[in-house]
Structure 1
Amino acid sequence: MQLFKFYLSCVLAVATLSSPLQADDISHSVRGGASIPADQNGGFLDLGLGISYYKSPLWGYPEDNIDQDFGWAPEFYLNINGRYQYKGFFIEAYAEGINGFNMGYNLVSDSTWSVDIIGAPVHYGMGDDDDNKTWKNSKLKPREGDFNLGIRANYAHPDYMVEVRLLQDISGSHDGHTISTLLGKNWQQRNLNLHLLAGLVYHSKHAGEYYFNVSPEEASETISAYSDAKAGLGANAEFGLTYPIKEDWVWRGFYRYTKILSGVDDSPLLVHDEAHIFASSVSYVF
């Protein structure tokens, strides 16, 4: 359910899988961005602007997205990509990434494996403090965002990368858990880096109930009551390009597809069960 927040970084080079492994989010690693070995201190940062063209399945996001007749919408965004680590502790933010913001501590790192304790949001709030008039004019109660604690494990093969995350909500929003896996691969064509990502996300029943059930008090002529949310699966797939325009400037573009496979696909808070996003950004590397 998470809609596109956070990813990538600075200097372009093919992702290096030498010893020790660069512990990092797979969305960044597969793009061949700047990296720091897990046993060293330091960081990297780039900032830029981007534009996306997307189609959302969430009722009221963007505003007036309340039926299947609502199509695509443009959006400008601030593209922040960076990571800082010190004695095993790290914080990372990749604005175009599937997983986005993470903070934590590296437990294990060798030539092929990296295991981290991480804290991260998985679900972002709906109708909370974002001035969404469609939600504010409805009877729906806000759904707060969550914050989760768990384990991230990354495996680096010479031909591909794998990431698995097991996370439990500790914010008290829904007390549910999430299990996700991503498989990634990249290719270098001269200065152009191409990548593919694909994976599955499992959300427990508690998360589905909190975000997608609709109580009788919230029901209206446009939103019917709903209490059938279950544990469910979602799928992600992404194709992207990264190209260094100049020494300190980099262009990135990607297309991402998300499919809600089960659990909440019949909720009235979903206009349909697919999300699409095309995005393009230019960033300055510090």
Structure 2
Amino acid sequence: MKFNLAKQVSLALVTLGFATSSIAADISHSLRNNTEFNSAPENYFEIGLAAIAGKGSSFTRDDEDFSDFEVLVNGSYNWRGFFIDLYGESHTPLVFGYNAYDSKNWSFDVVLIPTGNGMGEELDDRFIGINERHVSVMLGGRATGYFAGNTLQLSMQHDITGNSSGTSASVLVGRNWQYRNWNFHGMLGLNYNDEKLVDYYLGVSEEEAARTDFTAFTGKSVLGFTAEAGVTYPINEDWVFRATTRYGSAIDNDSDSPLFLTDRDNAMSVSTSISYVF
């Protein structure tokens, strides 16, 4: 789990898709580790150090550039179909789930995902007078298929907390290539967040505008595109090196929220990490 970095990256990508990175998490792990589809789930835990730099929107920075060093924690625990995934390199790194169906080429999971970091005056003094935005807990399903070396994942979730009552959906395809001990991977995705979800986090009501310096704003639904490419190299049995570049862009976006200090319709980052695997 990335701490300050999670805040920076998630704010940079908030208009591009709340759920895509979390959905990508288990695909990214399997591609990085060259895991065969339908293989037994892997229980593991690792901790490391990551460095990241990039450009993106932010609620707290008046510069679109960012860089940071962070502690990185990844892990997974599986028991009789139930699983917990902790993947620090994603926007929403914690996923609870149950594998309800498995076949030769398809599997289906029921997932519970906390998403959206929440927002209030503790984040920045600019938000004094703004109603606090709370974390949404998304319940839904994801179907994962494997075809000729490609991995396809379809997902949809709905907020069950009633905070936003919003819905998100995504389509993701990924593939990996092995060259000696270097494992390369690439992923492309589309993600959709409906108007309720976007407006809850980015909108400014008339009442909030009346007691702050923000102008009133109604968030609209967002369709976004994401891309990721990376390489993984096992230094030895215990240490793993990773490098990743990510890009996200809003295809259909009317999100010029006044809450942003720096507003872009795309975000990009480059990161490297070294982790110890237990």
Interval containing the TM-score (normalised by the shorter chain): 0.7 to 0.9
Pick closer, same or farther for the CA change 1:119–1:78 going to 2, 3 Å: same
User: Any residues of structure 2 matched to 1:7-46 within 5 Å, and which?
Assistant: 25-32=26-33, 43-46=43-46
- C-alpha displacement of 1:166: 0.8
State whether structure 2 residue 97 is matched by structure 1 residue 107: no
- C-alpha displacement of 1:203: 0.8
Cα root mean square deviation, aligned: 2.7
2:179 corresponding residue in structure 1: 189
CA distance in 1, matches of 2:264, 2:212: 18
Q: For 1:226, what is the secondary structure of its paired residue?
A: coil
1:237 corresponding residue in structure 2: 227
Q: Which blocks of at least 5 consecutive residues in structure 1 are unaligned?
A: 9-23
1:57 corresponding residue in structure 2: 57
- C-alpha displacement of 1:230: 2.0
- C-alpha displacement of 1:28: 1.3
TM-score by length of 2: 0.83
Q: For 2:208, what is the secondary structure of its paired residue?
A: coil
Pick closer, same or farther for the CA change 1:105–1:7 going to 2, 3 Å: closer
**Is the 2:86–2:94 Cα contact (8 Å) retained in structure 1?**
yes
2:271 corresponding residue in structure 1: 279
User: Any residues of structure 2 matched to 1:1-286 within 5 Å, and which?
Assistant: 1=14, 2=18, 25-32=26-33, 43-60=43-60, 64-65=61-62, 70-97=63-90, 100-127=93-120, 131-136=122-127, 138-219=128-209, 223-227=214-218, 229-270=219-260, 271-286=263-278
Q: For 2:115, what is the secondary structure of its paired residue?
A: coil
Q: For 2:196, what is the secondary structure of its paired residue?
A: helix
Code of the residue aligned with 2:231 in structure 1: it is L
Q: For 1:30, what is the secondary structure of its paired residue?
A: helix
**Is the 1:174–1:206 Cα contact (8 Å) retained in structure 2?**
yes
Pick closer, same or farther for the CA change 1:111–1:150 going to 2, 3 Å: same
Code of the residue aligned with 2:187 in structure 1: it is L
Q: Which has the higher contact order (CA 8 A, sep 6+)?
A: 2
**Is the 2:137–2:161 Cα contact (8 Å) retained in structure 1?**
yes
- C-alpha displacement of 1:73: 1.6
- C-alpha displacement of 1:4: 9.3
Stretches (4+) displaced over 4 A = 3-8, 33-38
Q: Quote the sequence identity (%).
A: 34
Code of the residue aligned with 1:154 in structure 2: it is T
1:12 corresponding residue in structure 2: none
TM-score by length of 1: 0.81
**Is the 1:48–1:283 Cα contact (8 Å) retained in structure 2?**
yes
Q: For 2:28, what is the secondary structure of its paired residue?
A: helix
**Is the 1:196–1:240 Cα contact (8 Å) retained in structure 2?**
yes
More helix by share: 2
CA distance in 1, matches of 2:22, 2:235: 21
Q: For 1:25, what is the secondary structure of its paired residue?
A: helix
